[in-house]
Chains A and B, each alone.
Chain A
Amino acid sequence: MIGLLRGGMELLFAPLDHLPEGLALAIVSVITGVFALLVVRATTDQRALAVARDQLASAVLEIRLYLDSPRRVWKAQGRVAVWTARYVARAAPALLVMIVPFTLVFMHMYVRHEVAPLPVGEDVVVRIETTSEDLRVTSARDLELTAPVFHSPGVGWYARVRPRTAGEHDLSIEIAGQVVVKRLHVGEGRLTSPERRSGLAALWALSSEGPVPGIVRGIFVEHPPARRSWLGMPWWLGWVLASTAAAWLLRKPLKVVI
C-alpha cells in the first residue's frame, strides 16, 4: 500500500519537477494547506474547535481587561492553558490523520529540495550496510571505482565511485556470491538515488528499485547537500510557513474552523 502511495505521490510530484523550485514549493504549500483544511473539517468537531478557539481568545482578552488584578491575570492564564490543551485535543484527530500523508509529502520533497543530484566527474560515496565479510564492487563504463572498497566492521562497506557521464547508471555489487544492483541518477535535474532496503524497511524507502536480499540491510548513496534556500529559509521552513499561511488565508472561503 505504501508502495502505491509512493508511486501515486511521484505521479503527483512529476508535473512540478518541470517548474522552478520556488514555484513548485509554493504550489505544494498551497495544496498541502488546503488538504490540511479539508482534513480538519472532516475529522474534527468544528463547533467544539470554534468554542475552544473563542474561549482561548476570551482568556487572552481577560488578561488585557484585568491588568490591575494579578489574581484575575493568573486565573485567565490558567484558562488559556486549559483551553490550549482542549484545542489541541480537539484538533488531535486531524493531526493524527495528517501524519501519514504529510510524512510522505515531506519525504518526496526532501529528495527534491534537501539534496543535490549526483555530480558528473566527482566522487560519490555508496554505503552498503551488511554483515557479510565478502563484498566486491565492479567498475562499469560510466562508473569508475576510484578507491578500494573500505570495510568498517560492524557498520558496513564504503565504495567511492565517479560517474563519467550524466544519466542512469547501474552499480553492480556482489555480496556473498549474490549480485545486487543500485541505480545511480547522475547529472542535473532533481532526480536522486534513494536508498534500497531489505525487509519491512523497504516498504518505507523511496526507491522504486524494490527490496534487496536479506543479507543486506540497505544501500545508500550520499548526495551532496542542496545549496538552495527559499526566500532565505530552509525549504522545509518555507513549506511550513507557506502552507500554514495558505491554510490561514483560505479557512474562511473553505468554511473551516482552525
Chain B
Amino acid sequence: MPGIKYKLILLSFLIILNQGCDWLELLPPDGLVVDEYWKSKEDVEATLLGAYQQFAEMDEKLFLYGELRGDMIRAIQAPNYQQLIKNSNIFSNNQLCDWEDFYKIINYCNSIIKLAPSVLKVDQTFTELQMTIFTSEAIFLRSLAYFYLVRIFKDVPYITEPTIDDNVDFFIEKAESEEILSFLIEDLNSIKNTTPPAYSSPLKSRARATKAAVNALLADISLWNFEYEQCISYIDEIEDSKLYFLMSTSTWFEIFLPGNSLEGIFELQFDGSGENNSMFDYTYNFNYYSASDHAIQLMDPEISGEQIRGPGSISGENLNFRIWKYAGAAADQTTTRSSALQEACNFIVYRYSDIQLMKAEALSQLGQFEEAEAIINEIRGRALLDPVKISSSPEAFEDFILNERAKELAFEGKRWYDLLRMGRRNNFSRKNDLIEIIIQDAPSTQKLVLASKLSNPLGWYLPIYESELERNLNLTQNPFYDNDL
C-alpha cells in the first residue's frame, strides 16, 4: 500500500516538472510581445504611423527649436525653462535639451527598416512594393529627425540599429555632423524613386512622405551645406512634378486653415480630437508667446504695409500682437478658430513658398540674381506687395531673402535655422549679425560677455542634456558648455 503512494507522489512530481517549463511561460495580457509582432503589413504600418505621430507630438518643440533663439517671438507667460533659452541663459539641465523624442522616432524607423523585410515572408498580402514604400517613409522620417538634431545639437550619436533587447549597445558616441549629413543625403537619394509622388488622397499626400517631401528635405540639407547647385536641382524636381502651386492671394490663409492646401508638401496632421496641436495653447490660450517687436515692424500693415501676411500672421487687436496663424479662423483677425478646430491646425514642415525661397537663396548665392529676384517678386506679388529691385550682391539678396522668409514663414519654426545659415555662410563672415540677434533678449548686464563668448559658433547649438551625459559616459559635452557647470 505505501509503495503505491510513493509512486503516485513521485509520478505527480515528474508530471509537474515536465509541464513546469510550459506552465511558467506567461505572456502579458495587454500589448503584444516582440515575437508576436511584425507578423503583418498592418503591424509595419502601425509602427510607421507611430513615428509620424511622435513627430506630430513634438509640434511645440519644433516651434521652440526653430523660433526661441530667433527674433520673431516674444515670451509673455512662457514657462521658465523656455525663457531661459530665450534669454541665452542656457544650462545643460534645461529640459529643452532633451533629445529623447527625436530618438524615439529614429528607433521606430530603425525597427521598420530592419524588420519590415522579414514580414514579407509571413504576410502573403504584403507586397514588395508596399514594403519598399513603408521603408522609404521610415528613412525619410529618420533623416528628418537627424537633420533637426544636427541643426540643434551639431554632433549627435548616429544610430541605425533598432533597440530590440538589452543586448544592444546603448552607449554610442557622437558622430560628426558633416558625416551624418552625408549619410542622410545618401539615404534620401536612394529612396527618392521608391517614395510615391502622391497617395490616394490629396490629404494623405501631405500627411505621408512623398517624393516631393524627400526632395524638399534634400534641398534643405543641401542649402544648409551651401551646396547650391544640388539644392536647385532638387527643387526643380519638385517643380517638374507640377503637383504643388502657390496658393492665390485670396486663398492664402487656407494654407493654415483648413491646411493641407495645394501649397503644402509635408505637414504634421492634427484633427483636434485626440490629435491635438499645442500651438493654439502656446500662442493664444496660454499666451506663452506673441510676435516680437521685430516681427511687428516687418509685418504690421501700419508700419510696413504688409496686407496679406501681416494681419494673417499676427493679430494686432488691443495691441497684444498675437500669433494668428494657429489661432485664427481667417486672415481678417476677427474670429478665432471654432472650438473643435482650435487644436486642429497642422504643423507645416515644408511648403511650396518655403522651397521657392530656398531656391532664390541658392540662386542668388550662385550670382543668378535675376532668377532669384523673379521668385522673390512672385512671393511678394502673392502677398500684394510691389515688386522690388535688389542690388546685385549676394549679401543684399541674403538680407532681403531673410526678411522675406521671416514674413512668409513667420512662426513656422524656420527662423532660427535661416539665421544659422546666415551666420555660418562664407566661413562665419557675418557671425556678428547673428550674435546680435541672439543676445537681444539677454539681460543688459550680460550682453557684452555673452557676445564675446558666442563668437565661438559652438555656442549656437544646444548643450547635451545633463541626464543624457550622466547615462552615457561615451558622450562628450559640447565644449562651449563645459565650463559653465
**Do A and B come from the same complex?**
no
Which A residues are closer than 8 A to B by beta carbons? none
Which B residues are closer than 8 A to A by beta carbons? none
